[in-house]
Amino acid sequence: MPLVRIDLSSTRPPAMRRAIADGVHRALVDAIGIPAEDRFQIVTPHAPDELIFDPNHLDVAREDIVYVQITLVTGRRRELKLDLYRRIAANLTEVGVRAGDVFVTLTENALDGWSAGDGQAQLVDLQSVAGTENQQAT
Amino acid sequence: MPLVRIDLSSTRPPAMRRAIADGVHRALVDAIGIPAEDRFQIVTPHAPDELIFDPNHLDVAREDIVYVQITLVTGRRRELKLDLYRRIAANLTEVGVRAGDVFVTLTENALDGWSAGDGQAQLVDLQSVAGTENQQAT
Amino acid sequence: MPLVRIDLSSTRPPAMRRAIADGVHRALVDAIGIPAEDRFQIVTPHAPDELIFDPNHLDVAREDIVYVQITLVTGRRRELKLDLYRRIAANLTEVGVRAGDVFVTLTENALDGWSAGDGQAQLVDLQSVAGTENQQAT
């Protein structure tokens, strides 16, 4: 169960924003193995001066950054995360974002940190989450 | 000490947005036991196409999602969290949100992850937080 | 590698918003020891009724809150964090923000929770981050 925040420039047209959101989601499905329907995303367009970034920190060339902040249930192996970053960048490149402009942050939280609606904590009942080894105790 | 982000559709009128924020806060007070005055919330209205969600993942019916993202000091027992989700959904239902549209994410952080103003880390000084067993070491 | 979200009132003029962002960044550089070019910030202006806060919880006087939410690689000692809060408040006071209005939340994540562009997980390769003792295992 991921929640994805995407903050990008309002100069990117709505169709591109949607394609970016699609690309991030597809990467999560392909890298982490979440179900395709496990999609929850918040897109926030910003005036260009609201997105502040260094144009070449860590030898990455940035011009028009796309911030992707993912909250995800804990437990995925490092290889899956690294694959996720590669896939997000690759998918976004396909829709016209420079690879250097794809900035991703991943924060992990607990299995009991989620309610997907109806006041229930669905993951606690499931006790098993795609991409993790198996059940998680708390 | 929670910080609450609420992202919802701008088609919900301002009075309803406020009632939603009130309902989330009341649930935190009643479930977790934080003081009523421990209220810090950021409400962000969005154009409908900026809030992306699956309409029935995990058998929940969603039409007009309200994202509630809570950052909270670590240490509350699972039962309190589950009660929190039930209360948020119940309170929001009272003000006209469908229970299925209430999506909650909870991320816990450290006692020394908070400054409530004046450059101080108030929780470190208090060393005790409502709803946790007792003092937390670090 | 921090990601900083700053949510503030849109009544604060753009030059002041920028000065606030500058002040938060300078505090991170001075307190934590990150490189000056390690700057990634998202500023979101809000209508005043979207920022909800208690005017005096924990004996802090608040009138026009500035929410600063920092995501940072885990591992900094508490003294560095406390120094960070003091410096943020001091720097923001210099540009016209009341010290009581500076609300900071810090959430720590893993070394492999970052991609600064190009689909790479740069911190995993570096295996060492400013302000932490030394290498981090996972």
Instruction: Please give the pLDDT value at position A138.
Output: 40
Size of interface A-C (CB pairs under 8 A): 108
* pLDDT band, very low/low/confident/very high, at C133 (cuts 50, 70, 90): low
Instruction: Return the pLDDT at C74.
Output: 96
**Residue C132's Cα: distance from chain center in Å?**
17
User: Which residues of B are part of the catalytic machinery?
Assistant: 2
Closest Cβ opposite residue C113 in set A49, A50, A107: A107
Q: Considering only alpha carbons, which residue of chain A is nearest residue C138?
A: A78
Determine the pLDDT at residue B134.
53
**Distance (Å, whole) CA B51 – CA A21:** 10
User: DSSP alpha helices (H): ranges in chain B?
Assistant: 14-32, 78-94, 122-126
Tens digits of residue pLDDT in C58-68: 999 999 999 99
What is the complex's ipTM, to 2 decimals?
0.95
| Catalytic residue check, C13 | no
pLDDT at B71 over 70: yes
Six token digits for residue B95:
């003000």
Q: Residue A133 — very low, low, confident or very high, per pLDDT cuts 50/70/90?
A: low
C56/B37 touch (CB, cutoff 8 Å), yes or no: yes
- Residue ranges of alpha helices (H) inside B44-109 are 78-94
More confident residue, C36 or B137: C36
CB contact under 8 A, C113 and A105: yes
Which subunits sit against A, judged by 3+ Cβ pairs under 8 A? B, C
Neighbouring C-alpha atoms within 13 Å toward the C-beta of B10:
10
Q: Tens of pLDDT along A28-81?
A: 999 999 999 999 999 999 999 999 999 999 999 999 999 999 999 999 999 999
Query: What whole-number distance in Å separates Cα of residue B49 and Cα of residue A43?
Result: 8
Q: B interface toward A at CB cutoff 8 Å? A: 7, 44, 46, 49-54, 56-58, 60-62, 65, 67, 69, 78, 81-82, 85-90, 99-108
What is d(CA C83, CA C85) in angstroms, rounded to the nearest whole number? 5
Mark out chain C residues that contact chain A at CB-CB < 8 A.
3, 14, 17-18, 21, 35, 37-45, 71, 107, 109-110, 112-122, 124, 138
Q: Is the dihedral of CA A106, A110, A113, A116 positive or negative?
A: positive
Q: What is the pLDDT of residue B40?
A: 98
Residue B128 has pLDDT above 80, yes or no: no
Are A40 and B54 a contacting pair at CB < 8 A? Answer: yes
DSSP H helical ranges for chain C: 14-32, 78-94, 122-126
Quote the percentage of chain C above a pLDDT of 90: 89
Chain A CA closest to residue C40: A53
- Show residues of chain C in contact with B38, CB under 8 Å: 54, 57
* Domain segments of chain C as ranges: 3-126
Confidence grade of residue C134 (pLDDT, cut at 50, 70, 90): low
CB contact under 8 A, C90 and B119: yes
CA–CA gap between residue A128 and residue A130 (Å, rounded): 7
Residue with tokens 């993912």: A70
Tell me which residue of C68, C137, A35 sits closest to B115, measured CA to CA.
Answer: C68
Q: Which fold has domain C3-126?
A: Macrophage Migration Inhibitory Factor (3.30.429)
Q: Which residues of B touch A38 (CB under 8 A)?
A: 54, 57
* Confidence band, pLDDT 50/70/90 cuts, at residue C135: very low
Q: B88-118 burial string, b = 16+ CB within 10 Å, else e?
A: bbbbbbebebbbbbbbbbbbbbbbbbbbbbb
Mean pLDDT lowest among A32-36, A125-129, B99-103, C88-92: A125-129
Query: Would you say residue B68 has pLDDT above 80?
Result: yes
Assigned token pair, A74 = 């804990």
CA of residue B18 relative to chain centroid, distance: 14
Give contacts of C77 with chain B, Cβ < 8 Å: none
Helix, strand or coil for residue B67? strand
Q: To which residue do tokens 């550089």 refer?
A: C29
Q: Which amino acid is at B52?
A: I
Percent of chain A predicted with pLDDT > 70:
96
Contacts of B112 in chain C (CB under 8 A): 78, 81-82, 106
Which chain A positions have a beta carbon within 8 Å of C112's beta carbon? 78, 81-82, 106
Contact B108 A107 (CB under 8 A): no
What does the pLDDT read at residue A111? Answer: 96
Please provide the average confidence, as pLDDT, over all residues in chain B: 95
Q: Which residue in chain B has the smallest CA separation from C61?
A: B117
